[in-house]
Amino acid sequence: MRKRGSIVCKLLASMLAKAGLTHIITMDLHQKEIQGFFSFPVDNLRASPFLIQYIQEEIPDYRNAVIVAKSPDAAKRAQSYAERLRLGLAVIHGEAQCTEQDMDDGRHSPPMVKNATVHPGLELPLMMAKEKPPITVVGDVGGRIAIIVDDIIDDVESFVAAAEILKERGAYKIFVMATHGLLSADAPRLIEESSIDEVVVTNTVPHEVQKLQCPKIKTVDISLILSEAIRRIHNGESMAYLFRNITVDD
């Protein structure tokens, strides 16, 4: 939501309801509160059990790893991984992580007024402009494996920048784990040329072409949980089994 504009996700939810949908299955919504936009049941499945299993089985010395959030916004997700794997947590904070700018798209609500008049007796406190501090890592990653976790990886510049700062701070191996691997534009080339050792994503979005361009990209199959969810809904069975040990914060 920018410039007091419309909330697009609410519009999409209304369109899907109008089209006749009565139930929807999602995988790792960017914000779980999005489920409240829908007027019918939503089952927001999680890919984290599959990614955690990959860490335990495919990273031999994962006990020497630290889970990294590439921005404070991703700290809650990273904390969930760290607690389940009994690992430490680090957070990257600073100007390099400024990925969502309040861009001026030409729309204003209400329209801009050049000479705004203020009531003589009204003095509102001025909101200070945000200023990002220099990029820094909160937490110790020296001599550790750094595992960056997020829900989506598309524009990889922020991940590449995070990998560079982690290398400078002493991390000897860097993994990136995400549910949705869009990997658009030059993402495969940037990953191949970066300090990132491996990018692990699920197959919610097809990315076979990107894998041919970059051998660092690995895929975790999550079709099992989706097919089981469809089967249970079709047969009217309980979905509780698919949400075992899932907490409100996950």
pLDDT tens sequence across 151-161:
999 989 999 99
Q: What percent of the chain has pLDDT over 90?
A: 70
* Residue 4, Ramachandran bin (φ over 0: left; ψ between -120 and 50: alpha; else beta): left
At 120, is the pLDDT very low, low, confident or very high (cuts 50, 70, 90)? Answer: confident
Alpha-carbon gap, residue 247 to 228, rounded angstroms = 20
Alpha-carbon gap, residue 59 to 198, rounded angstroms = 11
Per-residue exposure over 8-18, b if at least 16 CB sit within 10 Å of its own CB, e if not: ebeeebeebee
pLDDT above 50 (res 24): yes
- 39 three-class SS: coil
Alpha-carbon gap, residue 204 to 214, rounded angstroms = 18
pLDDT, tens digit (0-9, with 9 covering 90-100), for 34-68: 999 999 999 999 999 999 999 999 999 999 999 99
Question: CATH topology for 48-96+135-221?
Answer: Rossmann fold (3.40.50)
Of 114-123, 132-141, 211-220, 237-246, minimum mean pLDDT range: 114-123
pLDDT of residue 99: 47
pLDDT, tens digit (0-9, with 9 covering 90-100), for 167-199: 999 999 999 999 999 999 899 999 999 999 999
Average pLDDT, whole number, for the chain?
88
The token duo for 222 is 């999550």
* Residue 184, Ramachandran bin (φ over 0: left; ψ between -120 and 50: alpha; else beta): beta
Residues 6 or more apart from 40 whose CB is under 8 A from it? 17, 21, 22, 23, 24
